[in-house]
Amino acid sequence: MQSDRIGTVLSFSDAQSLVNSFRSDPEAVCIISSNLTDIKLQKLMSILNEIDKNVKVIVISGNATITNVNHALDMGVKGYITRHASAIELEEIVLNVWNEKQAFSKTVSEAIVGFYANAHKPGATAEKNQITSREEEILHFIVEGLTSSEIAGRLYISPRTVETHRSNLMHKLNIKNTAGLVRYALQKRQQL
């Protein structure tokens, strides 16, 4: 599939065809099924990373458990989408991954945020209680893959304010980057 707005998108039914095409076009976005029959995802990611360390991979899955999403992120996957996602949603995720952002389908984002919200119920630990409701909103939008400017537009605040909240979240949680914030939300979801 080719688009004027992005480069090549590779999706094949077998890993070897995907690898061969990726060797010719390492800037491509690769869409990979979570249930490959001819190779494990971890092995495929290792092969693709040997070709290009900045490989852009989106996993498509029938059901996205937090454990699987977290495992995929640890392997370097940039996007995760369920098979129930719409074509528009898939296009948006491909564009985000092409632009080197992490991106998730709505179902995956809702699972991550749902976990995070449940972690804030009464009886939560002090670590969870120190996060404000505004920071929780910001984290929700970060998990959805929105930029600071996009978050600012949705919340009617300045991008600088969003950056302050993002920075506060990272400081409170002792996390160094946005990928870490997403991973934190995934890990907390997994613990419920």
List of domains in the chain: 9-101 (3.40.50.2300), 109-191 (1.10.10.10)
Pick from 56-70, 112-126, 144-158 the range whose average pLDDT is largest. 144-158
Q: Exposed, middle or buried, 133 (CB in 10 Å: 0-12/13-18/19+)?
A: exposed
pLDDT 10s digits, 48-61 = 999 998 999 999 98
Instruction: Provide the 10 A C-beta neighbour count for residue 67.
Output: 12
Phi, psi of 97 (to 5 degrees): -65, -40
0.85 surpassed by pTM:
no
pLDDT 10s digits, 87-127 = 899 999 999 999 988 898 888 887 777 666 665 555 544 44
For residues 43 and 45, give the distance between their C-alpha atoms in angstroms, rounded to a whole number. Answer: 5
For residues 135 and 191, give the distance between their C-alpha atoms in angstroms, rounded to a whole number. Answer: 21
